[in-house]
Structure 1
Amino acid sequence: MDRFDLGTYRRPISTRSTETQRWFDVGLNWCYGFNHEEGIKCFEKALETDPECPMVHWGIAYAAGPFYNLTWKEHGEAEADSATRRCFEHVQLARANTAAASV
């Protein structure tokens, strides 16, 4: 993986793919560093290798919503509506795929 070194923090998720796990970890670390846009790119890469992984869908929903550096007040109405739809869609996909997940 040719990415900026964000450290070794890992959050194990239910997936059989090491690539999915790796992209999820990098995406989560980007979000922890307040770079949600880059986090979304990584979560989307994780979806390419395991499109049914609930935590990857959760990651997109988490990263696409408001956060400390980009509050709802800073979104335009259309952007806020789009972000809300995207978050809701990925929460629903995460919930739909939880049967295959472990604890």
Structure 2
Amino acid sequence: MKYSTLTNLIYAEGKTVEPKIGDGATLLQWSDRHAYTVIEVKKNYILVTRDIAERVDQNFEKGPQEYKYQLDPDAAPVRANLRKDGKYYIGDQVLKIGYRHEHYDYSF
């Protein structure tokens, strides 16, 4: 698992919800997070697409970030596999199901 910040670690450890088509999802990276939408559900994996996340706050690098999300009709589907720990992964990164969140860490 490649998440490092305390915030992403806390998000990754919560209970996994049963995914449904249309649910939001968040890919937890080192310190960034990216918004996705569930488009297909299978027994051992789901397909998701990256959302268009438009930043709507005026805080720039120093304040809280707020985004408006919409589906990207041109986004390529990505497979997230269900592992024995009950979490979904894209590669070695946790995909948290049930909420959609975008965040860029400008300190890197």
User: TM-score with structure 2 length normalisation?
Assistant: 0.28
**Which one has a larger percent strand, Structure 1 or Structure 2?**
2
- The structure whose RCO (Cα within 8 Å, separation 6+) is larger is 2
**Which one has a larger percent helix, Structure 1 or Structure 2?**
1
